[in-house]
A and B are shown apart, each in its own frame.
Chain A
Amino acid sequence: MRKELEAQLAAQLRDEVVCVEKTDQRTIFIDVKREAIRRAARIVTEAGGRYMCGVGYDNIARDGTLGMVHTFSMDRNDHFICVRTKVPAIDPVMESITPDLPSAGWSEREFMDMLGMQFTNHPKPKRLVLADDWPAGIYPLRKEVPYDLVPPGADDVAYQLDEAPPGTKIVPIGPFHPSLHEPEHFAVYVDGETIKGCDYRGFMTHRGIEKLCQTQVSYNEVPFIAERICGICGSVHATAFSQAVESAGGIKIPRRAEYIRTLMLEIERIHSHLLWLGVAGHLIGFDTVFMQAWRVREQLMWLCERLTGNRKTYGMVLIGGVRRDITPEIADDIRAVVKKIEEELRVIHRAIEKDSSIHKRTKGVGTITKEETIAWGLIGPVARARGVDIDARRDHPYAAYNDMKFDVPVLTDCDVWSTLVVRVLETYEAIRIIHQVLDKMPAGPIFVELKDKIPALRHAITTVEAPRGESTHYVITGEDNRPDRWRVRAPTYTNLQAVPLMLLNEQFGDFPIIMGSIDPCFSCTDRVAVIDLQSGKASSMTRRELEFLSREQLHRA
């Protein structure tokens, strides 16, 4: 696989490939010159790569460049391919790959905002992450920008929406709207009751988590912050981050810890899918489904309270293992609760599976074809409901998933109803996995002491199958006992980009459920960074000096 790809790249790009590096069994890093990035991306895609995300990073202090990594997943043969390139900070221009890969659109826009990169031929080079009144020329993810800078606000700037198709009215959905749950803005162009287009302006809950973790906290504090990226798939983010650091640092964690992580991830999947089922019911105006699904889910929340000490933010994962052990008593508790949940979910499932009034609202709604799904790189239940058979648990096994036997439900109806069914079926599979985990769990320690320092500037990428799709974390280790760069790509980041496509020519009344069918999590999508400095300061300053400098500036201001 790797040989083939190398040969292809060598043949087509010749000396524009700088080097090919393989850090572990799974990951291949290919460094190319910036002129060749688009062609390299195309070659990898043709070889079967599915675009995951782009990662930009600031390397100015070391060699005056900004780095850009496009990451791809080879789902058939368990490989991650990272196409790396770098551009000088004084001329950060490279070619956009979005015309070939629409799902790269946001990644590139993000780093236009955050690092000041420029991508030629980008179809929609608008602001994505930063606020409308954020001053131009300040790139928060650059190292010279302090994490707590608050530039003065402005009132006279506003986001320019896309041109509305003729004859349509704009319906503003959000920032506050009952079907969104989080502040995001959709401008929906409707003609009567038919949706003719939509523009998205989100990232309103941008909290600067990536910047914070790159500048302020230490490695083992990050899992707790990562867990708070999302209120629903927190454990996923903590696990993904820990795995990335473990992979970069060559840390091998005990098998029992991996089993416990698997257990937590599956518990989280059950809770998330039940939550989604309830929300979906609410979004079509069927509050009984909402209440019933959440009633069933509540037992799991109480179980987690006993198991981890908290309903949702479990706080179980650390780099090197997990924090709490599974005792035989709690294992029996888990078995009993999970069994009860399965029974009760089957009752709900039977009550709604043949309900024609629910079918009316969900069948044939939000349809996109399998080809479009692949082109937009959709993931998770959204893709699996459209016949795309991908699941990171099976394709890139992590934690203890290689020991587990489970099915990946795939349906081909391509509509909202099939995403609902996929999620319910996945819940049953998750329960199966939990039983296996408890039966097969080996004895042993749950935490490994970190004897050595984690080496700096190692790159690592991991994916964890969150309930909504795969979560991708990319970590570059740093010197100060914290990551130099940590990039989180939540599943909604990818799936949301295709929502305008799903909405096209649908009824306005179906907006909430189509939006809801991807199980959007805006807080996951928004995370990242904030901040700056007036001009390009000498980048050789240490962080400590910079902190003082920035504080002085603030006092003066």
Chain B
Amino acid sequence: MNPTTETAWLLVGTNLLLFLALAPLFDGIVRRVAARVQNRQGPPLWQPLYDLLKLLGKENIDAVGILPFRLAPLVALASILCVVMILPVAGRATALTPYADTLTLIYLLTLGGVAVLVGAFSGKNIFALIGASREMTTMIMVEPILFMILLLGVIKTGSLELTTVLYGTPAGDYGWSGLIMIVIALFALQAFVGRQPFDIAEAEQELLGGPFIEYSGPNYALFKYYMMIKQMFYAYLPIAVFVPLLHSGLLVVDLILQLLLTALVFLVIGLLAATHPRYRIDQALNYFAGLFVLALGAVAGALFG
């Protein structure tokens, strides 16, 4: 094995570790921001991690008793971890990146969502069913927006390769279509991470957690972990796509800058979540439809403009 592949494998490990460790911290940032907007002290920054540990230590209740119900959380977490492993680190491809392209990324992200649906549909709980149907509707509307964002990169760079698509866009100039896409990414951010005003599927006040209502203990912890990592991925995505790399030559410096920017995105997420009521599903659909049309326009602009 030559030294470069070794470094590449090291990058996979670094990425995994970073996501696993920082996802709960970033979730803690959101909670702390919300607490400050509400004049509260708020929980410790590592509270989400403590929650996870506590849930992992609890009894695993198999509420439904069929295999899909037990497998769903594993599949969800595994799929998002796969996403993390193929993800380039600060513009440098990892050992696994060459095996995947942009489409694989989208497939894997969708797989996580599908696992949530499978878990919800495997029970007979009416709240889980309503939540799952809302989740599905949201997915159908939001995934295309994600697709458009990546498609713009594909068009701009003329390649499907992951590193190029994710980090290549700022290199070629934004153009007005790129600027529109930044706005779209910002407006779709809350939907990507599933927070107010778009936490419609979980909607504690009416659906009591929606798709996850039957889950408890370690199974639920896996789902929670999945949600946190997914949230971190989606917060990191606009940074990767739209913010140019520092190219300081040092991987660590680039990485730290990107992580700081991600933390900033989480600040925005926290502020937005704390200052919005939850939208109704029909209102959310109208909103997404508008974004989608705008995104189509931006892609068309990139193609012909």
* Chain A residues near B (Cβ < 8 Å): 169-172, 177-179, 190, 193, 281-288, 290-292, 295, 357-358, 360-361, 507-512
Contacts and interface: CB of A to CB of B under 8 A. Distances in A.
11 contacts: A179-B205, A193-B282, A281-B277, A286-B196, A286-B275, A286-B277, A288-B34, A288-B274, A292-B38, A509-B281, A510-B280
B205 A282 contact: yes
B280 A509 contact: yes
Given A171-B126, A285-B277, A512-B205, 13 more contacts: A178-B204, A178-B208, A285-B203, A287-B274, A288-B34, A291-B39, A357-B277, A358-B277, A507-B281, A509-B200, A509-B203, A509-B278, A509-B281
B247 interface: no
A361 B39 contact: no
B127 interface: yes
Nearest to B274: A288
**Most B C-beta atoms less than 10 A away, residue of A282, A295, A509, A510:** A509
Contacts of A360: 277, 279-280, 283
Contacts of B204: 178, 285
B38 A357 contact: no
A285 B197 CA distance: 8
B27 interface: no
A286 B199 CA distance: 12
A295 B39 contact: yes
Interface of B: 34, 37-40, 126-127, 130, 196-197, 199-200, 203-206, 208, 274-283
Contacts of B196: 285-286
Contacts of A178: 204-205, 208
Contacts of A177: 208
B132 to A, nearest CB: 13
Contacts of B279: 357, 360-361
Contact of A287 (B34, B130, B200, B206): B34
Main SS class of interface, A: helix
Contacts of B283: 360
Contacts of A179: 205-206
A8 B197 CA distance: 58
Contacts of B274: 287-288
A291 to B, nearest CB: 3
A287 B280 contact: no
Contacts of B200: 509
User: Which 10 interchain pairs have the tightest Cβ spacing?
Assistant: A285-B278, A291-B38, A286-B277, A284-B277, A509-B280, A512-B205, A179-B205, A285-B277, A288-B274, A361-B277
B74 to A, nearest CB: 28
B69 to A, nearest CB: 21
A288 B37 CA distance: 7
Nearest to B279: A360
A281 B277 CA distance: 7
Nearest to B199: A285
A507 B279 CA distance: 11
Contacts of B208: 177-178
A357 B279 CA distance: 8
Contact of B280 (A295, A358, A361): A361
A511 B208 CA distance: 13
A171 B127 contact: yes
Contacts of A285: 196-197, 199, 203-205, 276-278
Contacts of B38: 287-288, 290-292, 295
B31 to A, nearest CB: 11
A169 B206 CA distance: 15
A510 to B, nearest CB: 7
A285 B204 CA distance: 8
A510 B208 CA distance: 14
Contacts of B197: 285, 357
B205 A283 contact: yes
Given A291-B40, A508-B130, A509-B281, A286 B206 contact: no
Nearest to A194: B282
A462 B206 CA distance: 37
Given A178-B205, A282-B205, A170 B281 contact: no
Nearest to A359: B277
A357 B40 CA distance: 23
A171 B128 CA distance: 11
A292 B37 CA distance: 9
B206 A288 contact: no
B276 A357 contact: yes
A284 B199 CA distance: 11
**Most A C-beta atoms less than 10 A away, residue of B38, B127, B199:** B38
A287 B33 CA distance: 13
Nearest to A513: B205
**Most B C-beta atoms less than 10 A away, residue of A169, A285, A507, A510:** A285
A282 B184 CA distance: 28
B206 A511 contact: yes
Contact of B206 (A290, A295, A357, A512): A512
